[in-house]
Structures are given as structure tokens and as C-alpha cells.
Structure 1
Amino acid sequence: MLSLTLERQSWAHRIPVGWKLATLFALTFVTFPLDSIAPIVAGLALVLLGWTSLGRAGFQASLRALRPVLWFVVIILVYHIFVGRLHQGAVIVLKMLLLFGFANFVTMTSRLSDMMDLVIRLLSPLRRVGIPPERIALAFALVIRFTPVLGQRGARLAEAWRARSARRAGPRIIAPLAVSALDDADQVAEALRARGGLRE
């Protein structure tokens, strides 16, 4: 779901990544107890304004990043309609869109190296127990970097399946997607070893 860093610089790129992640944490903390739609919609409107400020490319990339979430939105809404709790379902869905939308805004406007540096600083006390924070930061960065890549690859596999069959791809693309992910992991591991790995 998370997009890659937006190449075009914007005002949000100049905000330190620590402040943006702290805002995301605070927004999550404030949003979860809410049971009213109005403040959540207001927050979602601010997120949409933030997307718009990134230009057309940034807005379109943000919309694409939310596509996987739409399946959960539909399932949650259908379930709550079935049990007669539409208001509760609408609140949950709007919270999801708000938090995922802002999280995507943060990743799009933050350099991966800055996020790694922040994680290393926050986890630096782990050195005292023999855990190098650089390894955790690298794992964190790889997850952010490869999540949208795997999403795009899954979409391409589904399109290739549809071009060859009238039936839905469904779980049939899971195996080739898993093999592709393992191949990427192997190539990344080889590249890290070729560069000396992670130094303590």
C-alpha cells in the first residue's frame, strides 16, 4: 500500500521525517476512539488537500496506493450492512482511509535514508544488549521499498492471467508472486554480501 518516495520535491519534503511520523502517531492515537463521522471526514479532507498539494503525479500515486485497501472497505461495509450496523462500518472504513492515506503521504514525502537514520537513532539503546539497530533499520527500509513493488508485480501477473484466460486469477498468482519475491530477496542478499554486508 505504501508508495515510493515522490521524485518531485514539495513543501512536505522539507519537513523532518521525525515530525511527520510523530504526527502520524498522534493522528492514530486521536482517531481510534472517535465514533463520530464528522471529525474523521474533516481529517480525510485535509489528507486529500495534502495529496493535491503534491501535484497531479502525487495525487494519482496516492490514489493507486489505496487500491488494495478498497477490498477491505467493501468487505467491512457489506458485513456491517448485513448485521445492521452501517454507522459503525462507515466509521471504521473512514478511519482506515484516513490513516492509510496519511501514512502514504508520509512515505511519499520522506527519503528512505532519512527514515532509516531515524529508526537507527530511536533504536540505538539496543546496542547495549548486542542488537545492531542498523539491521532493523535495513529491514524496515526493505519492507517500505518492496511492498509497492510486490503490489505492482501482483497487478501485472493478474493482467497477464486475464490476457490468457477468461477466468479470474484469484489465488493462482500467489505461487509465481511468492517465487518472484524469493528471487528478489536472493538478489538483494547477494548485493549486500557483494558490498560487505552490514558492519557492526
Structure 2
Amino acid sequence: MCGRLFFEHSASVEMLIRALGFNDFKMPSLPNVAPTEAVPVVRFLEGQLTISPMRWWLVPSWSDGPSTKFAMFNARIESVQTSRAYKGPLKYRRGIVPASAFMEWQTVAGKKQPYYFTGDPKPLALAAIWEERGGELLSVSVLTQPADSNFTRYHPRMPVMLSGEQINHWLDHRLAPKDVLAAVSGASVPLLARTVDPQLNNARLKDFPDSFTA
């Protein structure tokens, strides 16, 4: 599961962007981004890496248009290869969401307590699949997987977080879906976790946790 994303203009995020091949791109600061809002996505377009804003909630090319009837901001690694909505993007339209952090929740005493996760020490390269509808609307889902032993204390699912050669494998469309899934299944990176102010549960609050006291 991955329910909120954060994009921070920082030295570490800029380093990741340069490592992906973008020397002049400046990551905008986008705090507390919720599903259906725009997120930056790295992808191959006509043989060249590009970075584009996309709606974080995949819209299938064959659908009637944007809808929130089905939760499609995350795509389960277990079913992505057989899903009507996801199998095409998995084969032809894989991308990376370069985030500085994501947020997940636990219910504590009947209340939703948010946890803020950052890479330790690097930012996050989240595996994603994207789609284009009508030649205009670009949308994306973040790939998720069962949580590993370090993350299960927070949530039963976690994003697929890539590093090094895994990024190259994921973006290499010469690899068949089953092979690329085998290459990234279980992919994770060290994370730092901390509780943050429940005010951040409100997606209309566009701020970073360090801007106020939890």
C-alpha cells in the first residue's frame, strides 16, 4: 500500500534525478500528494528518457475516463501481469516515481496515526506503470508487494522500491513482464520511519512534516 507521496527539492533527490539521466531538471516541492493528484514519472518516450507529470490513479486506455470506482493508484505485483488494466502498461509502459517519502497509517486507539517513511539515506525510486488515454491523459499506478519482515509492523503491503541495477531492469522494455517482475520482486531499500502529526491525514494540508511539531 502507498497512500500519500512527498516530493522535496533536496540534494539527495536531485542526485537521484541526475542518476536517472536528467541534469537540468529541478524537482518541484510537492508535499502530501494524494491519489488523483499529479506526480512526476520517469519513462522512456520514443527511445529517450523523459520526466512528465501524471495523474496518480491509472486510467485504462479503454475506459470511459477518470473514475475512482476502483482503487487504481496502486497495482499489486501478484496480479499486475494478468489484470486487463495493467498487463499492457506492464509490458510497454513502465516508469519510476522518484519520491522523497511516502506515508502509511496504523489505527491506534481508534484513530489513524500516520507514519512518514524516507529512504535511508537515499530517496525512493518507486516502480510504476503508466497509461495514456486519448492521446492526452497520462496516469500512473505505483507497484506494491507484500511487506517484508521490517515493514509488517506498519502495514501488510509496501511499495516496490528499486535501487541500482533494478532501476535499469524495470525500465528495460526488452525484458519480458515475467522476467522483469522476477528481477524486482521483493525489492526494497532501508527506510527511516517516524510518526507525524495526524493533521497530515488531511490531503488539503500541503506541507512537509518538519514544518510543524508532531
User: TM-score w.r.t. structure 1 length?
Assistant: 0.26
User: TM-score w.r.t. structure 2 length?
Assistant: 0.24
Structure of higher CA gyration radius:
1
Question: Structure with the greater relative contact order (CA < 8 A, sep ≥ 6): 1 or 2?
Answer: 1
Report which of the two has the higher share of helix. Answer: 1
Report which of the two has the higher share of strand. Answer: 2
